[in-house]
């Protein structure tokens, strides 16, 4: 079993959990991370502003990133036909 931490970043805010989560392996950690993101993304997407980003990372026991899921709102120019 390995210990992992979740970290969420949005704009200037970034915070990692103080308490670790224990997973059997990286595959189990990835599965949990995607499930957590699935539960959060609807609310996050509804409030995301143009040119803003939201990110969740899974950190190993040394708090180094293992996986990252990002949601980015980008304003892009478009041409009228």
Higher pLDDT among residues 79 and 46, named by residue: 46
Q: Please indicate, yes or no, if residue 80 is contained in any of the structural domains.
A: no
Number of structural domains the chain divides into: 1
Separation CA 53–CA 58 (nearest Å): 17
Q: Please indicate, yes or no, if residue 23 is contained in any of the structural domains.
A: yes
Q: Please indicate, yes or no, if residue 59 is contained in any of the structural domains.
A: yes
Residue with tokens 């970034």: 14
Q: Please indicate, yes or no, if residue 68 is contained in any of the structural domains.
A: yes
Place 62 in a pLDDT band, splitting at 50, 70 and 90. Answer: very high
- Distances in Å between the Cα of 59 and the Cα atoms of 7, 12, 22, 49, 66 are 7, 19, 12, 26, 5
- Distances in Å between the Cα of 2 and the Cα atoms of 6, 24, 26, 31 are 13, 6, 8, 14
Q: Please indicate, yes or no, if residue 66 is contained in any of the structural domains.
A: yes
Write out pLDDT tens, residues 40-58.
888 888 888 888 899 999 9
Number of H helices, E strands in the chain: 1, 5
3-state secondary structure of 76: coil
Higher pLDDT among residues 17 and 36, named by residue: 36
Q: Supply the range of the domain harboring residue 57.
A: 2-73
Q: Please indicate, yes or no, if residue 79 is contained in any of the structural domains.
A: no
Q: Please indicate, yes or no, if residue 7 is contained in any of the structural domains.
A: yes
């Amino acid at each position: 079993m390995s210990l992992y931490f979740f970290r969420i970043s949005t704009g200037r805010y970034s915070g990692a959990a103080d308490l670790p989560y224990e997973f059997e392996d990286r595959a189990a950690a990835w599965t949990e991370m995607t499930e957590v993101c699935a539960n959060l993304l609807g609310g996050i997407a509804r409030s995301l502003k143009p040119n803003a980003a939201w990110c969740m990372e899974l950190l190993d026991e040394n708090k180094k990133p293992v996986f990252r899921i990002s949601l980015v709102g980008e304003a892009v120019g478009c041409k009228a036909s």
